[in-house]
Amino acid sequence: MKDYLNPLIRRKPDEIILHIGTNNLKDAAMEPQSLAEGISSLALQINTNSPTTKISVSSLITRQDNSSLINKLNETNKRLKA
C-alpha cells in the first residue's frame, strides 16, 4: 500500500478515502490492534505530507466468505473509531 501512497500524496489531492484492511484479517498473525495502527499510520503519513488533504477512513466491511473473522473485524473497527 505504501508504494501507491507516495505518488498519490505528491499530487496533493483534496480528499483520500482509505478503504483498506479487510483482506488483512485473513492473516492469522494480524491482530486488530496492529491492523488499526497500520491504517492510522498511513493516515498520519498522508497528513504529514499533504496537510490540506481531507482523510476519511472507512470501517472494515463484513466478509461473507469467513464468518470466523467477525470478532477481529469488530475489534479493528472499534479501534479505528477511537
CA distances from 50 to 56, 67, 79 (A): 14, 37, 24
Range of the domain at 41: 15-81
Q: Is there a domain that residue 10 lies in?
A: no
- 70-81 helix and 32-49 helix, angle to the nearest 10 degrees: 40
- Give the pLDDT score at 11: 92
Q: Is there a domain that residue 6 lies in?
A: no
Q: Is there a domain that residue 70 lies in?
A: yes
- Rounded to two decimals, the pTM is 0.86
Instruction: Quote the DSSP letter at residue 30.
Output: -
pLDDT confidence of 2, banded at 50, 70, 90? Answer: low
- The cell for 45 is 503519513
pLDDT in tens, 11-30: 999 999 999 999 998 898 99
Tally of domains in the chain: 1
Smallest Cα–Cα separation from 80: which of 32, 46, 25? Answer: 32
Say how far apart CA 51 and CA 62 lie, in whole Å. 31
Q: Is there a domain that residue 3 lies in?
A: no
